[in-house]
């Protein structure tokens, strides 16, 4: 299965690197056109006043532009759904935003969040993508994959959401260094080891996913659907 036109649908800037940065770089190297779309604004109301919030928004977007240029994506777009409050938006609105992106980019492959993440925006976006990718006649999306995001996917409790049990792996031995370099663009979002969203934590996960399938490093996915 060849991935020529890839759309990464991520809730927040940094999810794309955590979830599939090595895969993006690998597929770009192979000639794919990759577009990354962020749906939420990525600023978690940490700042009390509006000016500080706007400054943080711009800084996060600049970090995303830098990370995506390291990975070699063709383009990046930013949505403005409210961060960590996408459950307050009607699912139809999120679905229509995803449908518009699919209409523009006509991807053969879509990568998005896992249904069982702790983060509500991740879950909401997953639902919208599943709805927007209903396999009707002539729909462009042939492969739908769900990635894991460190410090969200593994923090779900058994019974509180579907477990991330990967069945689809990409060997990122050649692009792990670029994934980590891209992740470094989001220095403000990273934490110190042993937090899972640390450079070491992310590398350990990639190494473990690699060991799972007998390669130096990998990213793991759940295959949602594939039409071959």
Closest CA to 79 of 145, 35, 109, 47: 35
In the bound state with Zn ion, the residue whose beta carbon lies nearer, of 11 and 190, is: 11
Closest CA to 100 of 215, 228, 211, 7: 7
Minimum gap (Å) between residue 12 Cβ and Zn ion: 4
Candidate segments 12-20, 98-106, 134-142, 196-204, binder of Zn ion by CB under 5 A: 12-20
In the bound state with Zn ion, the residue whose beta carbon lies nearer, of 39 and 218, is: 39
Minimum gap (Å) between residue 70 Cβ and Zn ion: 19
Among 6, 7, 8, 12, binds Zn ion (CB under 5 A): 12
Name the helix (H) or strand (E) containing 175.
Answer: none
Q: Is 114 in the site for Zn ion (CB under 5 A)?
A: no
Minimum gap (Å) between residue 149 Cβ and Zn ion: 6
SS (H, E, C) 17-83: HHHHHHHHHHHHHCCCEEEEEEEECCCCCCCCCHHHHHHHHHHHHHHHHHHHHHHCCCEEEEEEECC
Which two tokens mark 64? Answer: 């995303």
Distance of alpha carbon 3 from alpha carbon 103, whole angstroms = 17
Residue nearest to Zn ion (CB): 12
In the bound state with Zn ion, the residue whose beta carbon lies nearer, of 15 and 41, is: 15
Minimum gap (Å) between residue 58 Cβ and Zn ion: 19
Q: Is 189 in the site for Zn ion (CB under 5 A)?
A: no
Which two tokens mark 150? Answer: 């460190």
Q: Is 83 in the site for Zn ion (CB under 5 A)?
A: no
Number of helices and strands in the chain (H, E): 6, 7
Total interface residues for Zn ion by CB under 5 A:
3
Minimum gap (Å) between residue 152 Cβ and Zn ion: 6
Q: Is 11 in the site for Zn ion (CB under 5 A)?
A: yes
Residue 23: Cβ-neighbour burial (10 angstroms; 0-12, 13-18, 19+) = buried
In the bound state with Zn ion, the residue whose beta carbon lies nearer, of 35 and 197, is: 197
- For 170, the 3-state DSSP assignment is strand
Site for Zn ion in 14-33 (CB under 5 A): 15
Residues forming the site for Zn ion (CB under 5 A):
11-12, 15
């Amino acid at each position: 299965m060849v991935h020529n036109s890839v759309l990464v649908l991520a809730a927040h800037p940094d999810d794309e690197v955590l979830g599939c940065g090595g895969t993006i770089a690998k597929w770009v190297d192979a000639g794919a056109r990759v577009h990354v779309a962020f749906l939420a604004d990525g600023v978690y109301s940490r700042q009390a006043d509006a000016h500080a919030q706007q400054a943080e928004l711009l800084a996060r977007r600049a970090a995303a532009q830098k990370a995506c240029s390291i990975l070699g994506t063709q383009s990046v777009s930013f949505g403005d759904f409210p961060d960590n409050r996408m459950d307050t938006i009607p699912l139809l609105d999120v679905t229509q935003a995803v449908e518009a992106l699919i209409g523009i980019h006509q991807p053969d492959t879509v990568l998005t969040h896992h249904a069982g993440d702790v983060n509500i925006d991740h879950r909401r976006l997953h639902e919208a993508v599943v709805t927007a990718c209903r396999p009707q006649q002539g729909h462009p999306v042939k492969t739908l994959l769900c990635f894991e995001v460190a410090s969200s996917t593994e923090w779900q409790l058994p019974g509180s959401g579907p477990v991330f049990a990967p069945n689809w792996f990409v060997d990122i031995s050649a692009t792990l260094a670029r994934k980590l370099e891209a992740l470094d663009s989001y220095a403000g979002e990273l934490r110190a080891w042993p937090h899972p969203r640390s450079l070491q934590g992310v590398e350990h996960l990639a190494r473990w996913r690699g060991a799972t399938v007998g390669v130096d490093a990998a990213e793991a996915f759940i295959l949602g659907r594939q039409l071959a």
